[in-house]
Amino acid sequence: MMRLLAVAAGALTLALVQLSPASAMTIEKIVSPKGITAWLVREKAVPLVALNYAFKGGATQDSAGKGGTANLVADTLDEGAGDLDSNAFHDRLERHAIEMSFSANRDEFRGSLRALNEHRDEAFDLLRMALAQPRFEPSAVERVRGQELAGLRREITNPNSIASRTWWQTAFPGHPYGLETKGSLETVPAITPDDLRDFTKRVFARNGLTVSIVGDIDEKTAGDLIDKAFGGLPAANDLKPVADVKPQGLGRRIVAELNVPQAVVTFGGPGIARDDPDFMAAYVVNHILGGGSFSSRLYREVREKRGLAYGVSESLAWFDHAALIMGGTATRADRTADALAIIENETKKMAEEGPTADELTSAKDYLKGAYALSLDTSSKIAAQLTQIQLDKLGIDYIQRRGAMIDAVTLDDAKRVAKRLYGNGMLVTVAGRPKGLSSSTQ
């Protein structure tokens, strides 16, 4: 869970100012004095600096029986560090209009920082303390743990959470991907402050670090700030190995009975890896079937024509050790079977016939034009640069992306559609769907 702290109105307004268009963006690869590689975009439109970074090793590094450790670390790093207790740390953030956040996903531990130029030294020093000298005081850990447990208790009766949790547990039995990143009511109480310290020592290291920085800043200053935040961390991490895996349970439908007015449906199956030559074709085809929220086939057939759901979507998801297609919807209990039948029929139709030429052209135009929206603030640019680095797409990816989309032919799209959607899906449903039960086929 991402925690945004102390966002001053003035700093937020500045951060939302339109920045240079992507086509005019210059990305520099820099190396700090201590040898940390980063990508830098100099943006003089706003007097602030935005940092985004990731450490390899997220929830997959949680110890056995202590799921949720990475998530609890993310939620307690700002609860005191160095010689500052929680109140003093937060006071520093607030008085200097510094925004700091931490989060943990399955494969990475991520963070971001944003501050006005006049407060950037203070901001990076606070980040240094949070990463290298977290206090994890028992009282603070217990307070945050209590908040997390309250959220987990609410999820016991939340159909979205139940459908999602059932899907992941069934798809990846015995694998870290099958466990909830937030842990469970059984595992979170077992986590100790020493477990949190152990996680940071094993994961927070320079060799697993990816850094992006954007702002009104030069190369030397950027390198010095990066070293201030990360230069004192260990040179090498100590990560547990994680096996590559494919989703299980394809062809199954699991219904979890829950007394709620609507039923929630989660569906998914094998995807295409980010480094696969077919990925861009899969990306375009996915947009046509379910990725375009208001223009996709699934939205048109389920929502617009029949009014069976407020929304329905499907997307590609790629991880370090698995690639997936994932989708979902929520609908009335007595219409769940109808909605699911349409989703399955449209998916099968896409696999067998692929998209039309007109659909392909429209999807390409949209995907090229909409990308600029992910690059219209300093923080968004920094986040995108970090993801591009993690995906190993190359420093010129933003400039090449449009041509890569244009290069997808109709034959490519039809071939990849069969590859992407011809393997069957695992479906989980939470609710009381009329006429729909668990099945193995």
Instruction: Dump pLDDT digits (tens) for 346-377.
Output: 999 999 999 999 999 999 999 999 999 999 99
Phi, psi (deg, nearest 5) at residue 321: -125, 10
The predicted pLDDT at position 295 comes to 86
pLDDT at 293 over 90: no
> What band does 9 get if pLDDT is binned at 50, 70 and 90?
very low
- Ordered domains of the chain (ranges, CATH): 9-230 (3.30.830.10), 253-431 (3.30.830.10)
Residues contacting residue 418 through CB under 8 Å, at least 6 positions apart: 351, 352, 354
How far, CA to CA in Å, does 221 sit from each of 115, 119, 215, 340?
Answer: 14, 13, 11, 55
Give the N- to C-terminal CA distance of the chain in Å, as an integer.
36
Q: Where are the beta strands (DSSP E) in 119-195?
A: none
Q: What is the DSSP letter of 307?
A: -
The predicted pLDDT at position 236 comes to 98
C-alpha 40 chain-centroid distance: 22
Phi, psi (deg, nearest 5) at residue 125: -70, -40
Q: What is the b/e burial string over 173-194, where b = at least 16 CB atoms within 10 angstroms of the residue's CB? A: eebbbbbbbbbbeebbeebebe
The 10s digit of each residue's pLDDT in 107-122 is 999 999 999 999 999 9
The predicted pLDDT at position 46 comes to 85
> What band does 294 get if pLDDT is binned at 50, 70 and 90?
confident
